[in-house]
Structure 1
């Protein structure tokens, strides 16, 4: 657990003159499930987009397995074992479910392994198997979220970034998605989870970070943060006595 997979150091991200991320430090170690929580507009998604190279950095550094990834595109990062499930799913709407899964494995050259992993995804997400030949754009939001996660897992990532996987889903679908998150973590994949549902995120995480207005304002073991009155009041909807 001492090996650092992802190290974010003084990261700054700006949109025009607006500082969305103001010098964030964050580490994710091998085998951890780290939750990054905070209100809308706190800078969580901007942080993930900067890590994956879809937003330019205004300052700081991001290291993946000890090496800076500044300037690397998403393709190079996926090939190195870093995959992301973006907010809003981003499935290929005019492709079938099976074709989406095949696209998730585009950096791989082991055809037999890819076929076996598609079957494994169908076992993990039986609803996808039932609709294997259906166009992704015709599925429900929850089904698309399942597909987005399965597609990312097809690259066999060693680090998986999840951006708001529960957003807009029914309670039953949220439960299923988090069941899979816990399962993937238990199988050894390192995960950085950005999630507005603070309770769910912290309940399945090893450690947590709180972001507010572009800054990390709190960090610690997830169970300890669940019991912290400041977290409970700000993010779990509970009133503090007094």
Structure 2
């Protein structure tokens, strides 16, 4: 694809905090309309990478370009205003606000009142469970319902790039399937996404392309469906014994 279609380009990113170098020269890109996943074990540096992209952490070196513009010196809130939106690990809903109020908070940078009302209705169509509980306090909802709300709130910001950090964490298997059903549906609507997820199987099934991060370094990249059948990925991240070491794969 042409460079003009690249929404996010990360080049040789290095991030250190607390005396630890968590990311050691990672490079990746996300093109318009793609769902790209970044998989890897706990502590691999995936969340740190997202925080650097969103401006919550300052890189030690490397370049982050969003919509062909460098992000050096651009604050996190300014990145949100430009359409770079993240759903953090742990969901981060406003517990003492209702579902409707949470959705309104997602649109706090917008000034189109009519459009905001239309988008709230659209979120209720996408997430019927939220409509049933529109006036319920977010803190009283289940983890899966809160994850749906976090996604809907982020979509209210009309993101050009949506970053998701471990959306399945702590959810029941049934709710995990539901969340990934929603992720695929949102992707099908053309929303560009970068997904960090420990459930490598579901992430790769949903994604167009994938990256594997190990100890702060990108060690593999490619078509997501091809990665699903790669013996190295299957043994390391899908829990299968493939005999990759013995065969030299």
- Counterparts of 1:20 and 1:163, CA distance in 2: 16
- Structure 1 stretches lacking a partner, 5+ long: none
Aligned-pair CA distance for 1:228: 0.4
Instruction: Tell me the secondary structure at the aligned position of residue 92 of structure 1.
Output: coil
User: 2:222 maps to what in 1?
Assistant: 220
- Counterparts of 1:114 and 1:217, CA distance in 2: 42
RMSD of aligned alpha carbons: 0.9
Aligned-pair CA distance for 1:71: 2.2
Aligned-pair CA distance for 1:79: 1.3
Q: Deviations over 1:191-241 (max 9, x none)?
A: 100000000000011110000000000001001100100000000000013
How many residue pairs match? The answer is 242
Report the TM-score, using the length of structure 1 for normalisation. 0.98
Runs of 4+ in 1 over 6 A off after TM superposition: none
Aligned-pair CA distance for 1:16: 2.7
Of 25, 28, 36, the match for 1:26: 28
User: 1:17 maps to what in 2?
Assistant: 19
User: 2:197 maps to what in 1?
Assistant: 195
Instruction: Tell me the secondary structure at the aligned position of residue 218 of structure 2.
Output: strand
- Spell out the pairing of 1:92-107 with structure 2 (5 A cutoff): 92-107=94-109
Instruction: Tell me the secondary structure at the aligned position of residue 22 of structure 1.
Output: strand
Aligned-pair CA distance for 1:74: 2.2
User: 1:117 maps to what in 2?
Assistant: 119
- Counterparts of 2:187 and 2:160, CA distance in 1: 10
User: 2:151 maps to what in 1?
Assistant: 149
